[in-house]
Amino acid sequence: MKISTVIFDLDGTLLDTLDDLKNAVNYALSLRGLPQYTRPQISAMVGNGIGLLIKRAAGENCDEALLRTMLDDFISYYKAHLHDCSRPYDGMIDLLRELKRRGYKTALVSNKWNEAVEILCKVFFNGLLDAQTGELDDLPRKPDRALVDLVLSRLGVQKDECLYVGDSGVDVETARNAELPFVGVTWGFRTRKQLLSCGAKNLIDRPEELYRYLEG
């Protein structure tokens, strides 16, 4: 069946959000006199939701009560600075516009909490996505297929019509669990080598290269 719908990851795929995430993590750490992290270090921690991001930043031995207060501080700071530095990757807005012009549906599935996803989509992709969801309280996050299935239901499309695009091992596994073909992007939070080691077979270095997988 011909592909009619492209589902994208957000962080590291459509948007470079790493500096805002780093700043929010370091803010929560600084309140407690804990060591700060660099952009590459934070890059290695993201992808599984903010709860695990904070746990990884604080260290495995951090107690649950402290983790909860750190998460609250992270969210408070991040909400106020959600798109100070975040920007679409070069060519992504043009890609989304061209996909819509060619008649494709576009969607977004992220492990970022849903409120933040809604705000970022409105700021950067208003009118360019047909459906989106972030992490929800009543559904498991990626790599479980539940959020993907939710978006497919909202769009009224079958999985055989869809392509999944992401930048991490979590995305590779999500596509596998949802039974979707996968294209990995090399401009995000993981390297080409890391994506290949996770089982990604189709990789692109520039957004416009996606067309060959859709129409080839």
Domain at 69, CATH number: 1.10.150
Q: 194 in helix, strand or coil?
A: helix
C-alpha distances (whole Å) from 147 to each of 5, 81, 121, 137, 215 are 15, 26, 17, 11, 26
Does residue 11 share a domain with residue 42?
no
Region 116-126: what's the mean pLDDT?
96
The count of domains in the chain is: 2
Q: What angle do CA 146, 147, 149 make, to 5 degrees?
A: 65
Q: Are strands 15-16 and 87-88 parallel, antiparallel or unpaired?
A: antiparallel
Average pLDDT score, the chain: 94
Q: How far apart are CA 37 and CA 43, in angstroms?
A: 10
Residue pLDDT, tens place only, 127-150: 999 999 999 999 999 999 999 999
- Give residue 195's domain range: 5-16+87-215
Task: Note whether 99 and 205 are same-domain residues.
Answer: yes
Asked whether residue 109 falls in the same domain as residue 188, the answer is yes
Regarding whether 71 and 120 lie in a shared domain, the answer is no
Residue 120 has pLDDT above 90, yes or no: yes
pLDDT score recorded for residue 178: 98
CA distances from 161 to 6, 17, 164 (A): 9, 29, 10
- pTM, entire model: 0.93
- pLDDT above 90 (res 47): no
Active site residue 9: yes
The CA distance from 91 to 88, in Å, is 8
C-beta of residue 143 within 8 angstroms of C-beta of residue 174:
yes
- What is the model's pLDDT at position 208? 95
Instruction: Report, as an integer, the average pLDDT of 83-93.
Output: 97
The CATH number covering residue 196 comes to 3.40.50.1000
